[in-house]
Structure 1
Amino acid sequence: MMTKTFDQREFVYRILLIIFLVGLALALWSLRGAIMLLFLGAILATALSIPVGFLRRRGFSNGQAVLVTVISTLVIILLIGILIIPSFAQQASSLVDRLPTALEEANNQYNKIAKDTGLFPTIEIGAGDLQQKQISNFIRDQADNATGQVLPFLGTVGSLVGNLLILFVLTVYFLAEPTAYVEGALTLVPRAYRPRALEVMTSLGKSVRLAVLSQMFSASLVATFTTTGLFILGVEDALALGILAGFFNFIPNFGPMVSLLVGVIFSLASGGPVILVIILYLIVQQLESNVITPRIIRQTLNMPGAVVIATQLVAGALFGFLGLLLAVPLVAVIMTLVRELYVYDALNSRKAVILKKRLETGQEHLVVTTDPYRPEQLSPGEAAKLSMQGQDPFEFVQGQQTIEIVGPSTEQMNRVTTNQQAVWVAILALVGAQAIALIQAILKDSRRG
């Protein structure tokens, strides 16, 4: 009878848990616009926290550092607005107005090359498909939709200036009182786990900071190189095309292809050196993808390309244009949480490091620790152990690092460590051989079919 009652309670508990999770998911979905706005504000605050930290290390108080950083940022934005935006807006408007004619002229140039070489099929675009007013209005409507997707919940009542003002206020609040939000989040965590929670939050901030800075640096270089190259080649509206190339670079994988297509279309329309323009875009893209991005993003954040593409597809479907724009920071957050909470904590698979330590007696021991590991912070397991022993983890002696001494460092122990590595290499080789054999079998079956 007790077992039956227990089963019923367990069943009811699971049903209520499922209902709660479904309700939470629906609530988060309805608030996705506000959530993305907060995420964007946190990203901007993370980026601006770098100059704030630099000024604080030079003797400025937090308020002074934030004030100087915000004023400097506004001055830079104002200079960009005065020196660059008018020219860019004029050239961008010219691009939109010239697009129908550019498409038609590009189509004629392409068909001429196709007929002369006989290598490509000809494409005929009807004159009815190229009505200038319709295409221009369509492009402007899509730009308005993209702006509305950035801040969907303000799309009907706010202007772009109002949206940017709200984003600016959020960013300033995040910068002015960063510890207040961190402390507020830590109060929701049990005391024994707060050091670990702080470590995870620190890792999140570092990952997002690296992601944002790497994208900004990469986009700036792409815009500069593209604008300079197009100007040298004599392409019209080089500044607008270069800024578009830098902006599209914030969208990994797909953005560079779009910027290349736009550059080729307007180069064909203006009778410019199309081949040289294509070569320029390809050189800039190869420089960005093989030199800049690997050194900044892949080596510091270790982001697999397939994960970035998958995140772009999902984020684009859920959050629209803003999801595509923030794909890399989203990947940084997701990968950091998975690594810290699941791999390190749930699976206890933090990378082990075996070191030698010589004691005062002269005897050597093998010491197993983990990397990264900071002595002033305790893992959840160590904090729980101290709590069980009646000690407060927050009163734990600073600088005392909990380690595990395996035993005397002998040649036999060293050989055991080496043999373990050899075993793992052998297992990986065996798995690789099995995968190759499976692929070969599939290829043989497909050829027979």
Structure 2
Amino acid sequence: MDREPVDASADIARFLRRLQWGLVALAALWLVALLGPILTPFVLAALLGWLGDPLVDRLERAGRSRPVAVTLVFVLMLMLVVLVVLILVPMVERQVVTLVEALPQYRAWFMETALPWVEQRTGIEITTWLDPQRLFELVRTHWAQAGGLATTLFGYLSSSGFAFLAWIANIVLLPILTFYFLRDWDLLVERVEVMIPRDHLATVSRLAKESDEVLGAFLRGQFIVMVALGAIYAIGLTLVGLKLGLLIGMVAGLISFVPYLGAATGIVLAVLAALVQAQGFDLKLLVLVGVVFTVGQLIESYILTPRIVGDRIGLHPVAVIFAIMAGGQLFGFVGMLIALPVAAVGNVLLRFARERYTQSRLYAGEGPRIVVGVQAQAVPVASASADDGGAAGNGNGNGNDGA
């Protein structure tokens, strides 16, 4: 039986509507790129407001008014920032100073121990095509240039009134904008919901709910996992006697949003630090380092990730890395801030598109035939059958009469 032909005008109109939305999206991306330098405090404040809104709603359900709940959450955020600045920053600074002071020791270990060991095991004379002395001199030169660049940049910020005022304005604006986003978050959501066409409200609400779940699991949950892992690694490595344990643990925790990357990087850095610190192969220290990272991975795999993050993210590690790099390349620091949220929402939209496609007639091989300029007139099957039967009967009757 032939498939029903349809007019192409409806499909053309649908395509034009989608093209319009695509152009609007491109215009929005162009506007983000154009306003990137001033969007940083607004994006950060929006993220902080979104992160704190569930706690504000919970305090409201407990009987507190919205202004009181917002004030409590805002003060809590400020206290966390102050604690980080007063406690964590000095500790990291001491670790960096320790690392800089130990650089000659690392250089000697590399030249006298690591390089001969690699050449002996591989049979390759690395020094014939790579000059380690020149390499270290190059690193030292660029280190000095980086310090000079930082000094020059700071001097420019200090001497340039506009740049310095913009920098101060961003710092001052961030807490103010965060407070307003916390206070008016539900109102902003309601106003956006009012603008959605009524025939698309159910679909948009479903996608928004799924996006919020994914973003909540990733940003809120993964942030807690990163902080917890950083604390576990830093405390554990410090307790086993590694001098740079705090710095290595924090680095491993901060990049643990990519599965296994944080642990792998931390193990490599910790093993190198242990070998240099012990001036040789200290089996006990290396075993303790391995125990710290093994315990951290077990806690993450069986406690932190299942209970805090869950399995709703659906972002592949390669997609996470690509999103961050692409966001930074396209929109700079603002792009890196919004890369993971955009990737998470995009993943939800792709799942929705796949679901609609697998339920479509095109996927099932039942797509309509498009006939332009032809109007098909439907003929009821029962009527057609009756006409065929009547014609046959008349033919038989005429034959009988003739007979």
Number of the residue aligned with 1:248: 255
Preserved CA contact (<8 Å) 1:316 1:322: yes
Deviation at 1:312, TM superposition (A): 3.6
Q: Distance in 2 between matches of 1:305 and 1:215?
A: 13
1:218 maps onto 2:218 in alignment: no
Question: Which of 76, 79, 87 lines up with 2:80 in the alignment?
Answer: 76
Q: In structure 2, which of residues 164, 169, 185 is the aligned counterpart of residue 178 of structure 1? A: 185
Q: CA deviation at 1:309?
A: 3.8
- Amino acid paired to 1:314: A
TM-score norm. by structure 2 comes to: 0.65
Q: Label 1:281 to 1:232 Cα distance change in 2 as closer, same or farther (>3 A).
A: closer
Alpha-carbon distance change, 312 to 79 in structure 1, aligned in 2, over 3 angstroms: closer
**In structure 1, how many angstroms separate the alpha carbons of the residues matched to 2:335 and 2:229?**
21
CA distance in 2 between counterparts of 1:143 and 1:219 reads 29
Once superposed, what is the RMSD of the aligned Cα atoms? 4.2
CA contact (8 A) 2:245 2:270 kept: no
Alignment of 1:17-416 (within 5 A): 25-34=29-38, 38-99=42-103, 101-114=105-118, 118-119=121-122, 121=124, 123-124=126-127, 125-131=131-137, 134-137=141-144, 156-157=163-164, 162-250=169-257, 254-271=261-278, 273=282, 275-276=286-287, 279-280=290-291, 282-283=293-294, 286-287=297-298, 290-291=301-302, 292-293=304-305, 296-297=308-309, 299-320=311-332, 323=335, 327-340=339-352, 342-343=353-354, 346-347=356-357, 349=359
Separation in 2, partners of 1:34, 1:42: 14
**How far apart, CA to CA, are the structure 2 residues paired with 1:161 and 1:230?**
37
Task: Determine the C-alpha separation between the residues in 2 that align with 1:63 and 1:121.
Answer: 69
Q: Which has the larger radius of gyration?
A: 2
Q: Secondary structure at the match of 2:195?
A: coil
CA gap of 1:276–1:337, structure 2 versus 1, over 3 A, is same
| C-alpha distance in 1 between matches for 2:259 and 2:175 | 26
How many Å separate the matches in 1 of 2:85 and 2:105? 29
Shift of 1:237: 3.0
Deviations 1:222-250 (A, max 9, x none): 21221122123211132222222222224
TM-score, with normalisation over the residues of structure 1?
0.60
> What is the distance in 1 between the residues matched to 2:306 and 2:126?
39
Structure 1 residues 37, 159: CA separation in 2 closer, same or farther (over 3 Å shift)?
closer
Please tell me whether the aligned partners of residues 219 and 249 of structure 1 are also in contact (alpha carbons under 8 angstroms). Answer: yes
Q: Deviations over 1:188-233 (max 9, x none)?
A: 3223433543443333323212211221221122212211221232
CA gap 1:65/1:349 in 2 versus in 1, 3 angstroms: farther
Aligned-partner Cα distance in 2 for 1:64–1:137: 50
The offset of 1:121, in angstroms, is 4.6
Structure 2: 5+ residue stretches without partners: 1-8, 155-161, 361-403
Q: Closer, same or farther in 2 for the Cα pair 1:313/1:294, shift >3 Å?
A: farther
Residue pair 1:264, 1:277 contacting (<8 A) in 2 also: no
Contact 1:110/1:122 (8 A) holds in 2: no
Aligned counterparts of 2:229 and 2:145: Cα–Cα separation in 1:
28
- CA deviations 1:303-362 (Å, max 9, x no partner) are 33343344244334334566556654333222223335x346x54859xxxxxxxxxxxx
Moved more, 31-40 or 50-59: 31-40
Q: How far is 1:178 from its partner? A: 1.0
Give the AA of the match of 2:290.
I
Relative to structure 1, is the Cα distance of residues 115 and 305 closer, same or farther in structure 2, using a 3 angstrom cutoff? closer
Distance 1:34 1:213, change over 3 A: same
Q: Offset of 1:53 from its aligned partner?
A: 2.2
| In 2: Cα distance, 1:43 partner to 1:299 partner | 22
Q: Distance in 2 between matches of 1:293 and 1:313?
A: 24
**Secondary structure, in 3 states, of the residue corresponding to 2:215?**
helix
Task: Provide the C-alpha distance between the structure 2 equivalents of 1:246 and 1:231, rounded to a whole number of angstroms.
Answer: 14
Cα distance change, pair 165–337 in 1 and its aligned pair in 2 (3 A): farther
1:26 maps to a residue whose letter is W
Contact 1:253/1:309, CA 8 A, preserved across alignment: no
Contact 1:312 1:327 in 2 (8 A): yes
CA separation in 1, counterparts of 2:273 and 2:35?
A: 40
Change (3 A) 1:277 1:95: farther
What secondary structure sits across from 1:28 in the alignment?
helix
Unaligned 5+ runs, structure 1:
1-5, 148-154, 351-449
Check whether the contact 1:312–1:324 (CA below 8 A) recurs between aligned residues. Answer: yes
Residue pair 2:259, 2:317 contacting (<8 A) in 1 also: no
- 8 Å contact kept, 1:251–1:324: no
Give distance in 1, aligned partners of 2:148 and 2:56: 39
- Secondary structure, in 3 states, of the residue corresponding to 2:278? coil
Q: Which structure features the higher share of strand residues? A: 1
User: Which amino acid in the other structure matches residue 212 of structure 1?
Assistant: L
